[in-house]
Amino acid sequence: MKKILLFLLISLTVKAQLSSKAEVVLVTVAPGKELHSAFGHTILWVNDPLNGIDRAYSFGTFDFKTENFYLKFLMGTLPYTISVHSMQDEFNYNAQYEKRGMIAQKLQLDSLQKNAIFQALETNLLPENREYAYKFFYDNCSTRIRDVIERNAPGKYRWIQNPSLEGKSYRDWMNKYLAPNSWVTLGMNLALGIPSNVKATASQACYLPDNLASATNLAKGLSANPVTLFDAEVSEEAGFDFTGPYVILSVLIVLVGLATYKKRFSYAADVALFSIIGLLAWFIFFLGTATNHEVMAWNPASLMLFPLNFPLVIWFAKDPLKWKKYLQIISVLCVIGLIWSGIQFAPMVLVGLPIFIRVCYLSFIKK
């Protein structure tokens, strides 16, 4: 019964028309502290005081109670939905609770365009339309709202007038929001494949909410001057993290290099090193080949870390002479992977250097 009533309520709302006093407002929420909020958020607010309409639409909503949540998230099959709240609720949560900045841009649209956007959003709320396959770079909370505006107010965005949003890859834009000396940043970059290195157009760069706000502001005649709804305190920049990957991996490289030079790197140490990095390599390979995350496909980190080293290390570390050809081939692949990965994101080289040192040494053992 509740589902029937909800369906009827949404159906009636879809047919409703906005008054001449209605406003459509793009609201941009600043990045938060948690990873899932690190890139900001976009809300499209339809406000019509004459008809009592106050609806703030958000895409990219998910439910932790979804069956097999973590497995679906890992596989890229977790259903995401559109949701709607009052603007006051959005403000209370994002500004008052999470202390994230919020800006609003009132869109300069005619009545037909406002109604078209409103109807499109309400249609999207219907049960059969709510869910969609989330794609971080291509189909998220920001791109969905960009598309709603473009489809229902065509020509408002003139992308060729946005050179400041061009020239960076998807990966480059992502890394602007991440601390460089961070295990999370390193892990995310290791997981991304060649598709993330494609240069994003101005429109594609709007997968980030801040970029959509910038494009909206630069689009001639599309929006009024941005209004600050909440000005969050500027957080202090964190000092250098001595437990971050820069230090830990550099120390590991030095230790592996010294032990190799002095011929004190034991069989057990080889097995441990190649097993740990090999498991990481298999996980990266799995993400790129067995999930719906297409941006993780064709990953040069697989060349650098080479999954087959685990479990083959059990044999080639014990008798490297018998595995000489294999080790020499892996050395060449590792060099290619190191250079390729380093071009994408330089700190990734730190992960590959320890095994590169060992593979090169083992491949040149003569007796």
Per-residue pLDDT tens over the stretch 139-176: 999 999 999 999 999 999 988 878 899 999 999 999 99
pLDDT in tens, 200-230: 999 999 999 999 999 999 998 899 889 999 9
**Calpha distance 68→246 (Å, rounded):** 35
Q: 290 near 334, Cβ under 8 Å?
A: no
Give the SS3 label for residue 85: strand
Locate the domains of the chain by residue range. Answer: 2-166+201-230, 245-363
Q: Identify which of 192, 200, 87 has the alpha carbon closest to the alpha carbon of residue 146.
A: 200
> In the prediction, which pLDDT does 367 show?
60
Strand-pair partners of 25: 45, 106
For strands 227-230 and 131-133, give the pairing: unpaired
pLDDT tens digits for range 306-347: 999 999 999 999 999 999 999 999 999 999 999 999 999 999
Measured between alpha carbons, how far is 199 from 184 in angstroms, rounded to an integer? 23
Q: What is the pLDDT of residues 279-292, one digit of tens each?
A: 999 999 999 999 99
Residues 6+ apart with CB under 8 A from 299: 191, 192, 193, 194, 284, 285, 287, 288
Distance CA 259, CA 266 (A): 9
Average pLDDT of span 256-268 = 97
Integer Cα distance of 109 and 93 in angstroms: 28
Q: How confident is residue 8, by pLDDT bands cut at 50, 70 and 90?
A: very low
- Helices (DSSP H) in the chain: which residue ranges? 2-15, 69-75, 87-91, 111-125, 141-152, 170-175, 183-191, 209-218, 245-261, 267-289, 301-305, 309-316, 324-344, 349-363
Which region holds residue 101: left if phi is over 0, alpha if psi is between -120 and 50, else beta? Answer: beta
**SS3 category, 317:** coil
User: Positive or negative CA dihedral for 338, 342, 344, 346?
Assistant: positive
Q: Is omega for the bond preceding 311 within 30 degrees of 0, making it cis?
A: yes
pTM of the predicted structure, to 2 decimals: 0.91
Number of Cβ within 10 Å of residue 18's Cβ equals: 20
Distance CA 20, CA 48 (A): 8
CB–CB of 208/39 below 8 Å? yes
Contact (CB, 8 A) for 347 and 189 = yes
State whether the Cα torsion 240-33-172-343 is positive or negative: positive
Question: Does the structure show a pLDDT above 90 at 233?
Answer: no
pLDDT for res 15: 60
Token representation of residue 180:
């460089």
Q: Which residue has the higher pLDDT, 267 or 161?
A: 267
How many CB atoms lie under 10 A from the CB of residue 366? Answer: 6
Backbone angles phi, psi at 270, to 5 degrees: -60, -45
Q: Are 223 and 26 within 8 A, CB to CB?
A: yes
What pLDDT, on the 0 to 100 scale, is given for residue 237? 76
Confidence of residue 5 (pLDDT cuts 50, 70, 90): very low
Gap between the Cα atoms of 41 and 49, Å rounded: 25
Among 184, 209, 180, 207, smallest CA distance to 195 is for 207
Q: How high is the pLDDT of residue 312? A: 97
The pLDDT value recorded for residue 131 is 94
Query: For residue 220, what pLDDT is reported?
Result: 83
What pLDDT, in 10s, does the model give residues 23-65?
999 999 999 988 889 999 999 999 999 999 999 999 989 888 8
Residue 225 φ/ψ, nearest 5 degrees: -60, 140
86 pLDDT exceeds 70? yes
> Out of 9-23, 242-256, 274-288, 289-303, which region has the weakest mean confidence (pLDDT)?
9-23
Mean of per-residue pLDDT scores for the chain = 93
Q: Which two tokens stand for residue 6?
A: 């909800």
Position 41, amino acid:
H
